Structure 1
């Protein structure tokens, strides 16, 4: 069997984890597959010719990290899964990457920044489509508008989501939408903040969402006022309105059971045919105190595939020793042009 690289892929049997494992193999990486479901891990490891280790987030992580340099954590929802993995990485001295796009999870990681520096560990949440392209675009524009006070980001291309992504969205039932004002994170009523954004085919209605950049973009750019919007496709609008009017019920035990049953009824994730030919589009606008504005747009390949591309590129950087200790964002460490190194990415200003 070829030599295993000292990198652990946790959550390897989930939808995105399986995509990552196969993409890693295609890049010549040899991750150690890890998770809690031994039969599924064994089958995948046999298929790909990889090593696997079994560990739960509450048991066995330190042993699973033996001989590992970096973890790519792909098991969400990250609001409940990232803390035990970060704890283990800090105990053992392993660098941490994840695919989180959750504001609370990213904030929680950044609260561990000082401890990570002391231990010589890098913690980098948001290594996928959440938040690499938006982080890079935000930093690119902010460097051209010195003293920018306001950042607006828009996300399009999320028409199909995995079962795990649905569970992450369902966790927000009954909760406020998060934005940043004056450097502080605030909650607003779902559906109460809407604007039109141009994703390339004219202005489209977009709804404010609790997206990871509300946290990460602040650490990358220092901009104190941040809002993130998603293209208001019908399914998203229905979900936001249901949260606004029935959030209390959805957040109850019965409501959460209903959401979980709905999640179980969904396919594991979009098929290769459903993902083929799709694009992600990020738009951004920065504004300074004098009202000077600069807008930009970034086109990427389809979100799930692009998450694999960016996350594995970051793994390779870390394995090569190209990193900064502490809690970090992708654009701050690797620069706003990092995203332009990938095929199919186009950036424009307007």
Structure 2
């Protein structure tokens, strides 16, 4: 299988490229910065390409040589559409590691288009949202009559900068949850106590990818995602909307 990693020189991109090397894979590395991409490719013994997502000819040429692209260059709210557009044009399967609700919803809306092109559009195949989505699906199989799903996640400080930024932006730009099968903006901060292995912790509702994906995986109509209510997250949640936007 021929595949390309776009955004290979970022924090997560380097980790993915190094892991691919350890597994004996030979991806093509790509990104906007030619010098950084070339240096990483030479260190790992991979081929490389340098192009921006607004360079349609270069983008299509690169994707035309591979079967799958692993898109790691965020913010995905800005980069997902041009990459997905190119994948549909070239018949290349699409993977990314987004945790952004808007991206999940936008790609889900292109389901018929993707099927007609014979292309897989699969966002969120990293920490956002694979483990939590698998857990939600497992829970639904054990509790088939479940009508409400609360997902609580702790340990934000141990995640990558991109994941942490997505969580903070999830508060800064509203508190999206699913109610009655529809995505809605909660009117005020929502907190809840959860029991973790090391004891009870307070969680605060955030806009997280599972609000979109868990609906498709479980069909549960009411879904809320909480992160551990650390000091910075709680302060941001209780700021007025303008102040949240300025701090995000």
Shift of 1:169: 4.6
Matches within 5 A, 1:180-199: 180-189=178-187, 192-199=189-196
CA RMSD of aligned residues (A): 1.8
Q: Are residue 248 (structure 1) and residue 245 (structure 2) matched?
A: no
Greater CA deviation, 32-41 or 162-171? 162-171
Shift of 1:101: 0.8
Matches within 5 A, 1:160-171: 160-169=158-167, 171=169
For the 8 Å contact 1:57–1:81, the answer to whether it is kept is yes
Aligned partners of 1:165 and 1:155: how far apart in 2?
A: 12
**What is the CA deviation profile of residues 224-267 of structure 1, one whole-angstrom value per residue up to 9, with x for unaligned ones?**
110010111223223333xx33x31453xxx37xx5xxxxxxxx
Shift of 1:164: 3.3
How many residues get paired?
Answer: 246
Give 5+ residue unaligned stretches, structure 2.
none
Aligned partners of 1:169 and 1:182: how far apart in 2?
A: 24
Give 5+ residue unaligned stretches, structure 1.
260-350
Matches within 5 A, 1:1-350: 6-59=2-55, 60-169=58-167, 171-172=169-170, 174-189=172-187, 192-241=189-238, 244-245=239-240, 247-251=241-245, 255=246
Provide the residue aligned with 1:315 in structure 2: none
SS state of the match for residue 233, structure 2? helix
Aligned partners of 2:83 and 2:154: how far apart in 1?
A: 30
SS state of the match for residue 164, structure 1? helix
Scaled by the length of structure 2, the TM-score of the pair is: 0.93
SS state of the match for residue 96, structure 1? strand
* Structure of greater relative contact order (alpha carbons < 8 Å, 6+ residues apart): 1
Provide the residue aligned with 1:338 in structure 2: none
Shift of 1:122: 1.0
Aligned partners of 2:102 and 2:96: how far apart in 1?
A: 14
Scaled by the length of structure 1, the TM-score of the pair is: 0.67
**What is the CA deviation profile of residues 45-89 of structure 1, one whole-angstrom value per residue up to 9, with x for unaligned ones?**
111110011121111211111221111111111111111111111
